[in-house]
Amino acid sequence: MRKAKREHRLRPFTTGVLFGYATTFILSAVGAIFLLLTDSAEALSGAVSIVAMALSCFVAGHTAGRLRRHRGLSAGALCGLLYMVLPLLISLVTLNVGGAMLIVKLVLCVAFGAAGGVVGVNSVK
């Protein structure tokens, strides 16, 4: 009799965060093209980046929720926190700590990640 293959505990979170970063890349490219075509690069660039970050955290939480199939709220929130590690490190290295905007982005990432986790757990396989 063969032993069942054991899944790694961090697999849903790493997969979710990687899917989130891939989504960020795609949404940022689409947003850059949109800003280039509308000629409003400076005015809307901050809003486009925040929308891309929030949607990416939703995708990260959704992916983790679908893979874990339980505790979607905590799985998604953790994905949102893990997603924010890289932007936080980049802002610390460049000495461009955002202050209040960094807290807003953190809250958005955790909230959208948690919502994505709940939707992912409740989605049909």
Is 19 within a domain? yes
Determine the pLDDT at residue 92.
Answer: 82
Write b or e for each residue in 4-43: b if 16 or more Cβ atoms lie within 10 A of its Cβ, otherwise e.
eeeeeeeebbebbbebbeebbeebeeebeeebeeeeeeee
Total-model pTM: 0.84
Q: Is residue 98 part of a domain?
A: yes
Is 29 inside a domain boundary? Answer: yes
Q: Which domain holds residue 75?
A: 11-121
Q: Is the dihedral of CA 104, 91, 77, 55 positive or negative?
A: positive
Tell me what percent of the residues of the chain surpass a pLDDT of 90: 30
In a domain, 72, yes or no: yes
Residues 74, 18: contact at Cβ < 8 Å?
A: no
- Is residue 58 in a domain? yes
Whether residue 5 is contained in a domain is answered as no
Would you state the structure tokens that stand for residue 105, as one six-digit string? Answer: 């982005």
* Residue 2 belongs to some domain of the structure: no
pLDDT of residue 8: 77
Q: Using CA atoms, how far apart are residues 42 and 5, in angstroms rounded to an integer?
A: 51
Residue count (the chain): 125
- What is the C-alpha to C-alpha distance for residues 64 and 55, in angstroms, rounded to an integer? 14
Residues 46-73: tens digit of each pLDDT: 888 888 999 999 999 999 998 888 888 8
Look at residue 69 and tell me if it is in a domain.
yes
Sign of CA dihedral 75, 81, 82, 83: positive
Task: Please give the share of the chain, as a percent, with pLDDT higher than 70.
Answer: 91
Contacts for 44 with CB less than 8 Å, ≥ 6 apart:
35, 38
Domain count, the chain: 1
What pLDDT score was predicted for residue 7? Answer: 67
